[in-house]
Amino acid sequence: MLRSRFVFRMMLSMMCFHLGQSVNLFAMDDSDLTGLSNQRRIMDVSLEIQPDKIRTETSNKDVFAVEVLREDHGKLISVPAVPFKWKASELAAGRDTIHVEAILKNEFFEVSDGNQPYRIVADIPAQGKNQLIFLPDSSGGQVLGIWQVAQRAKTKLESEVGLSFWKTPLSFSWPAEGDYYAFGEVHLTRGDHWDVVGHEMGHGIYDLANLGVFGGGAHKIDECYSEALAISEGWASFFSAWLNVDLQDPDAKFEYMVPRRAPIRFESIPSDVCPGQTNEWRVTGFFWDLVDLHDDSEKATELFARMWNAMKGTRVGSALAAKNKLKNAGFDPELLQIVWDLNFGK
């Protein structure tokens, strides 16, 4: 069963999915992204996710509340918009404990095992403030790590550009054999690697909004290949950066992406990276420098929404084509050239 599932998904990944239409392309090989070169063994994970720890504050017995917290770099971070449900009748009956459950699915995305969405379940005190705590790399912690990134994307995109483009839901499949996007499905090997999760989701958002074309084939982040592959991969990484990294960070970087070169710094790209617009790392730097708030020989502080609206629905085929779209949309041509030269060379 496992082998047949792997073969079927690899056949699907040999095509790029674009809003219900299949387009014959070479498979996108993201093995360099996470350092995976061989088929990954699929973990046996229960669909019912239970917290690693439960903490209850009962000083006010008239209050009943549920909060999900996930540990991230030693800090407990609240996980938003987890849709918990419970039976009001059980709560009103004065029971000592109550069963709560949340299906990790909404109208825009779900986190699943590839077939069904995960559920968080717990039996908790029926009084007080209950905190369901998850470790970063436990099964529950990885599922919620994906949910965190997806929910952050929904919130930021809704605020910046609206969600009218998001016409079909994205399904996040974990644990998967590899990290890739195909047919409206984001496949992930690790849910706790925020930058990789954001990158693969970026492919899905890029597809939903018709921002650009997809390229296919093997690619390494520091090498050159096709213009189409460079912009599709570079924009996906830019999306992950915009989603997760402080725009004022003078040392903006990815933590887990491409272990052989980690951390991947895109505020200042190493000189040994292949020059020109056929390199994805430099495409990421180009888009980042247009929206970030750190001055590194450029003073570009363009809004993400302006860039998005200039590219939306255009399906541009290269970084140069994207630059021309931005210019036509009213971006300062002199500033665009400065940022272009900074990242791609003159």
- List own/partner pairs for 81-86 with CB under 8 A and 24 or more apart: 81/106, 81/151, 82/120, 82/144, 82/147, 84/120
Query: In the structure encoding, which two tokens stand for residue 39, read together?
Result: 């088929």
Contact (CB, 8 A) for 328 and 261: no
Tens of pLDDT along the chain (346 residues)? 333 344 344 444 433 333 333 333 334 567 777 776 444 556 689 999 999 999 999 888 788 999 999 999 999 999 999 999 999 888 888 888 999 999 999 999 999 999 999 999 999 999 899 999 999 999 999 999 999 999 999 999 999 999 999 999 999 999 999 999 998 999 999 999 999 999 999 999 999 999 999 987 788 999 999 999 999 999 999 999 999 999 999 999 999 999 999 999 999 999 999 999 999 999 999 999 999 986 655 555 568 999 999 999 999 999 999 999 999 999 999 999 999 999 998 7
- What pTM was computed for the model? 0.89
